[in-house]
Amino acid sequence: MIDLRSDTVTRPTEGMWNAMNRAPVGDDVFREDPSVNALEEEISLLFGKEAGVFVPSGTMGNQIGLKVHTQPADEVIIDELAHIYHSEGAAGGLISGIQLRPLAGIRGVLSTGQVKDAVRSRNDWDPHSSVVALENTSNMGGGTCYGIETIRDLYQLAGDYNLALHMDGARIWNASVATGTELKEYGACCDTISVCFSKGLGAPVGSMLLGSEKKIKLARRYRKILGGGMRQAGMLAAAASYAVNHHFEKLVDDHRKAKKLAETISESVFFEINPDDAETNIVLFRVVRGTVSEALDWFASRNVSMIPFGGNTIRATFHFQITDNDLDQAISAVETYNGI
């Protein structure tokens, strides 16, 4: 099956297994795992942040990111399509006692004007705005990217109002490749950023929260409290480092394939998409004749797997283990679909 459901379905390559196998390990809760320590230093440097903490998942990276910037009864300004809002089980309420303030951005991207309008006054009865959370790329937005100028403006705005800016950079790697923005430029425009190694980069497990020494020291404590302190995690850190050093440059190819599929889909009378919207590795399209399940069943019968993405929308996602032949097969499945 050609698995276009997600970029989280990749399997370690032989090179990655070898790197994992060779990794020196120790007890990371004692900060004695040389591979984890090396990864934290490597990725902090890449983003120009003072420190980083390796965490098991993007969800944990985001939730600890919010925790270190907030007090209970604080409010986080966020796009209504954000993963933090939709897909983290309302963890902000459970872990940090915070409230989310979802705004309707454009395909997951907020503007400075919107955020400015959403910052609350400091009356006793107002929720206390304390964080602006951006998702770059936006998953539910269809892999959309923030322009670095917008992020810079939002960071400035956040600073002016004494708010922190947290970036959910699960796919920041894709954003960097698609927009030609250096990772350090993103690092310079946020207080914390969580980045994932287990999406398009293809590591089996792992994310990292990056920020100042002070925030990451606190984050390390919350990681342990939440049960995310891992012991000989070096083998996972080695996979993550391998992914960054071997797969980052391949993302451009995923974007090319996504665009090609989007263009094909745009020519079908059964589906609707603006191919310009396929900015990175994610393709969101609407079914306008027939149903989502009919279309998915057809694709599956042609050995292509995609996922329903709410309403009449389907998502196809590319990663480095989808070949050009696989793409051709997906294109053929779209071209031959006749609505039954």
Ligand X SMILES: Cc1ncc(COP(=O)(O)O)c(C=O)c1O
Least separation in angstroms between CB 260 and ligand X: 22
Positive or negative: CA dihedral 256, 258, 259, 264: positive
The pattern of x and - marking residues 24 through 63 that bind ligand X according to CB under 6 A reads ---------------------------------xxx--x-
Of 206-225, binders to ligand X (CB under 6 A) are: 207
Q: Which is nearer to ligand X, 119 or 211 (CB)?
A: 211
Least separation in angstroms between CB 337 and ligand X: 27
The pattern of x and - marking residues 250 through 289 that bind ligand X according to CB under 6 A reads ----------------------------------------
Instruction: Evaluate whether 179 touches 148 at the Cβ level (below 8 Å).
Output: yes
Of 182-211, binders to ligand X (CB under 6 A) are: 196, 198, 207
- Give the Cβ contact number of residue 26 at 10 Å: 17
Query: Residue 83, class by beta-carbon neighbours within 10 Å (0-12 exposed, 13-18 middle, 19+ buried)?
Result: buried
Q: Which is nearer to ligand X, 58 or 234 (CB)?
A: 58
Per-position b or e across 142-161, b if 16+ CB within 10 A of its CB = bbbbbebebbebbbebbeee
Q: Which is nearer to ligand X, 35 or 281 (CB)?
A: 281
Nearest to 142, CA basis, from 107, 172, 173: 107
Q: Which is nearer to ligand X, 112 or 138 (CB)?
A: 138
Least separation in angstroms between CB 80 and ligand X: 14
Q: Which is nearer to ligand X, 196 or 243 (CB)?
A: 196
Q: Which is nearer to ligand X, 307 or 331 (CB)?
A: 307
Least separation in angstroms between CB 40 and ligand X: 17
CA angle (10, 36, 189) in 5-degree steps: 80
Q: Which is nearer to ligand X, 23 or 170 (CB)?
A: 170
d(CA 64, CA 66): 5
Instruction: Evaluate whether 108 touches 82 at the Cβ level (below 8 Å).
Output: yes
3-class state of residue 226 by DSSP: coil
Pairing of strands 192-196, 207-211: antiparallel
Of 127-166, binders to ligand X (CB under 6 A) are: 135, 139
Task: Kindly state whether residue 170 participates in binding ligand X, applying the rule CB under 6 A.
Answer: yes
Least separation in angstroms between CB 159 and ligand X: 24
Token pair belonging to 257 = 């394939």
CA angle (81, 85, 89) in 5-degree steps: 135
Token pair belonging to 29 = 């809760």
Q: Which is nearer to ligand X, 103 or 170 (CB)?
A: 170
Nearest residue (beta carbon) to ligand X: 58
Question: Residue from 3, 75, 168, 254 that binds ligand X (CB under 6 A)?
Answer: 168
- For every residue of 265-309, DSSP letters joined together read HHT-TTEE--GGG--SSEEEEEE-SS-HHHHHHHHHHTTEE-EE-
Give the interface size with ligand X as a residue count (CB under 6 A).
12
Instruction: Evaluate whether 71 touches 272 at the Cβ level (below 8 Å).
Output: no
Least separation in angstroms between CB 307 and ligand X: 12
Of 83-102, binders to ligand X (CB under 6 A) are: 83
Q: Which is nearer to ligand X, 170 or 178 (CB)?
A: 170
Residues that bind ligand X (CB under 6 A): 57-59, 62, 83, 135, 139, 168, 170, 196, 198, 207
